[in-house]
């Protein structure tokens, strides 16, 4: 059977979808539900459903980021957005990122059944039969994830990750935190950064910090140690090593040059 998951912050919607649709007609079964984005991501990783019906306006969730993460990590997963958010450009972007159907609430039974029919048809074309099984065990980082062949979702995730790094480079920032904000695993984000940006997370973070340090070096009233702290380095020696590696000269030499 095809495994279906419902993600909506309104329990009445989840209950209604679960009970009113004759899932068995398409050899489907609702196996799990979630009521916010973070919970939804964790349950998707655990249950590995074939089909997901989800809202995009929920607590703790950026709808487009969630869609991109789902499609990037699980490219065969069929997603139907069911939402009250009426924005054509948003819908167009969601479809570009991998959504099969974008339905507005309230949707009638005909629209829902057509969406299910289409998604099940897509799964069959991919050779996915949908077998009855217990919830998947938690995978170790990178054990079974594959990078999506579509570049749209991956590029979207990397763009959001780079923006988050740019906004938070001045404090202690980890790959895990950025991965959490982009709804993917650390392993997956690391692979995407290498593929789309050609650098590791630490190299990207250091580059951003050094670029901002170069701007601060134009102010002669600031000491090198102060600049190091302001751009997020906890250790002056580490800042000095990274600066010279990136620029080929020390911070003092760079300041004198400019």
Q: Identify the structural domains of the chain with CATH numbers, from first to last.
A: 2-125 (3.40.50.2300), 151-257 (1.10.10.60)
Tell which phi-psi region holds residue 105, choosing left (phi > 0), alpha (psi between -120 and 50) or beta. beta
Q: Alpha-carbon distance 247 to 193, whole Å?
A: 22
Residue 33 in contact with residue 7, Cβ under 8 Å?
Answer: yes
Give the residues of the chain that fall short of pLDDT 50.
Answer: 133-150
Cis link prior to 214 (omega < 30° from 0)?
Answer: no
Position 224 scores a pLDDT of 96
Strand partners, 2: 28
Q: Per residue in 128-167, is it b (16+ CB within 10 Å) or e — as a string? A: eebeeeeeeeeeeeeeebeebeeeebbbbbbebbbebbee
Position 64 scores a pLDDT of 86
Position 38 scores a pLDDT of 78
Contact residues for 217 (Cβ-Cβ < 8 A; gap 6+): 227, 251, 254, 255, 258
Contact residues for 237 (Cβ-Cβ < 8 A; gap 6+): none
Position 134 scores a pLDDT of 47
Tokens encoding 97 = 């990122």
Residue 189 in contact with residue 157, Cβ under 8 Å?
Answer: yes
Residue-wise pLDDT for 145-187, tens only, equals 444 444 788 999 999 999 999 999 999 999 999 998 998 889 9
Report the 10 Å Cβ neighbour count for 2.
23
Position 255 scores a pLDDT of 94
Position 225 scores a pLDDT of 96
* pTM of the predicted structure, to 2 decimals: 0.78
DSSP letter for 139, please: P
Pairing of strands 78-83, 51-54: parallel
């Amino acid at each position: 059977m095809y495994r279906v998951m419902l993600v909506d912050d309104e329990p009445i919607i989840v209950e209604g979808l679960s009970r009113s649709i004759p899932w068995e007609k398409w050899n489907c079964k609702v196996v799990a539900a979630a009521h916010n984005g973070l919970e939804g991501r964790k349950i998707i990783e655990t249950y590995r459903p074939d089909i997901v019906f989800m809202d995009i306006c929920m607590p703790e969730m950026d709808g487009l980021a969630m869609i991109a993460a789902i499609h990037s990590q699980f490219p065969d997963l069929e997603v139907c957005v069911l939402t009250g958010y009426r924005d054509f450009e948003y819908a167009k972007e969601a479809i570009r990122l991998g959504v099969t159907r974008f339905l507005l609430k309230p949707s009638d039974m005909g629209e829902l059944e057509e969406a299910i029919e289409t998604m099940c048809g897509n799964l069959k074309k991919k050779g996915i039969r949908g077998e009855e099984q217990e919830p998947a065990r938690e995978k170790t980082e990178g054990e079974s994830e594959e990078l999506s062949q579509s570049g749209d979702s991956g590029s979207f995730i990397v763009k959001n990750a780079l923006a988050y790094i740019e906004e938070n480079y001045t404090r202690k920032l980890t790959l895990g935190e950025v991965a959490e904000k982009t709804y993917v695993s650390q392993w997956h984000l690391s692979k995407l950064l290498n593929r789309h940006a050609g650098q590791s997370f630490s190299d990207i973070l250091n580059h951003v910090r050094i670029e901002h340090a170069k701007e601060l070096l134009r102010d002669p009233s600031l000491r090198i140690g102060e600049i190091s702290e302001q751009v997020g380095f906890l250790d002056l020696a580490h800042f000095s090593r990274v600066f010279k590696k990136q620029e080929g000269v020390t911070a003092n030499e760079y300041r004198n040059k400019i």
